[in-house]
Structure 1
Amino acid sequence: MLSMLESILLSVATSEAMLGVLGNIFIVLVNCTNWVRNKKLSKINFILTGLAISRVFTIWIITLDAYTKVFFLTTLMPSNLHECISYIWVIINHLSVWFATSLSIFYFLKIANFSHYIFLWLKRRADKVFVFLIGYLIITWLASFPLAVTVIKNIKVHHNNTSWLIHLEKRELLINYVFANMGPISLFMVAVFTCFLLTISLWRHRRRMQSTGSKFRDLNTEVHVKAMKILISFIILFILYFMGVLIETLCLFLTENILLFIFGFTLSSTYPCCHSFILILTSRELKQASMRALRGLKCCET
């Protein structure tokens, strides 16, 4: 039986998860509708659609995993189910972070303004950059999966033998966990770096505008600021997501601390939920579609 605080936290996390599913499905529906109508899917819409789909799966996986661990005793929970959920999460988590990083690189190459020859070379070969990112995603999958298997098998042994905790090298498990997530972490660092470069580009652009005596915000500045909002929100929310998943993993060895586990679930649910609505509000096309949907709902109510 859950306590009052545990029930409230679980309700908040579940609400976040359901809103995240609705927001991401909305993004997919709008982009797919435009794809059918225009018979063409732009690169940015492809990235947004892939990101939304991967986040829907991410939400369902972390929610299913959380509910099985909260409402089923670990000794009664099917170990095969836990392994299956964990392996799928490794794949989907890599894919979700890959799409988010691709989105940040797309904004960087499209919006930033540098005269350095490396940037110009990358800008001219944007398609090859994404091909390279696909290759990097496959490499990180192949490198991370053996370590993820090791972590999952160690956890399985722990569930089968409670005395194993005495002999467990927690430090070794934590190191394996971090290395198993090196793919998403490295992709996340690329997103952080592109955000930093966009900040420099915005700062230089504003200095250039001030030197010419312009006191008005131009379109380039607004585009920079919009991209910065998306990238900074992704960075903050992904840090919360990673912390939440880490807390959930550590709680596997603190089976009596259900409150801490639910708190980790709440943190991890914030990222796929909030960032989807930030994408909707910062995209003119998605924002207009959401306004039309809300007006349609109001008409149905009346």
Structure 2
Amino acid sequence: MTARDREGLAAVLRALSEPVPGVTLTVAVGASLFDGRFGLERPRLLTPMPSFRSDVLDPAWCHGDLLVQASAATAEPLERVSATKIPGLAPRWRQAGFHPDAENRNLFGFREGAGNPDAADSALMDRLVWVGPGDDEPAWCAGGSYQVVRLIRLATPTWNSKPVPDQERVFGRAKDSGAPLGRETETEIPDYASDPRGEVIALDAHIRRANPRTPDSDAHRILRRSYSFGDEGTGAGHIFICFQRDVELGFATIQKRLAGEALERYTLPFGGGYYFVLPGRADGHDHLGQAMLA
């Protein structure tokens, strides 16, 4: 953010609130926006993203005052958005993403989003994703959500050299159907209690570490919406994106549980950050972030 005062910040947020035909914009704020320049009240859990095990974070690809995620069905409107210059705003890093096919498989060939909480269940979303008015947060945060972005390089040549059964063991799912190993369909729940030694789904398999299906782990669930990327500058990789009501209870807890998982040897997280998605415009507000500024 190159704007120097609240008026300049408001002008940036007002420009980002203008509808763009065919494009969905998600606007989130980073911890550095609350360094005192604008006198804003920071979301309680918003910090710079720490470095986790196996991370090799490049500062040039991390954090930022503002995160703008633009999504569209085709590339053309996104190119117009990317070319738009907004006074008071300068690019820090940018990564284009895509879904490789209609099944939303990642570049390792496995479907993304399996096991996601049902976004159509509003009560569940209120519990897991949206900050509520009774939470220990500044009042302006109600209706927002913590967003985590992770830029991850993938060792695709090494991965592609592995037999499919070995790949399935790493994820804990069948590659074609997405079903947990030992099950028939993607939506079936794995029975870890009857597999204590990991003979069906390995103890270090991704799905078992991410959600061990214990009474406590239900509270750690997150809403994931990820993309793939591939270009000459950054190589082939994965843009992991998730949303949660509490970033420590959600992403951070899961990430610590994933330490040492079998998938770790094929991935290299190098960028991203923690952000807080601005709530939608309330009655009487003409742009995103107006409640934060007030």
Structure 2-normalised TM-score?
0.26
Rg (Cα) greater in structure: 1
